[in-house]
Amino acid sequence: MSTEETAQLRQALEDTIQVLERTRHSFKSRELGQLRRRLLDLLEQLADAEPTQGQRMERRR
């Protein structure tokens, strides 16, 4: 996955999580809460998997 695609995926996840967070009191759904938590976990996994600037430069060599 390219850096641009990863950034787009991260933004889409962040947007979705924000909507779920804003509407959580309007829709008291356990399933939506669980979905929000799963998306947060996925976002954290993506952040952990992203190479650092130094690692990106090494790969280009």
**pLDDT given at position 60:** 45
pTM: 0.68
Find all residues with CB under 8 Å of 40, minimum gap 6, and list them.
Answer: 17
User: What are the residue ranges of helices labelled H in the chain?
Assistant: 3-22, 30-49, 53-60
Average pLDDT by consecutive 10-residue portion of the chain (61 residues)? Answer: 87 94 88 93 88 51 42
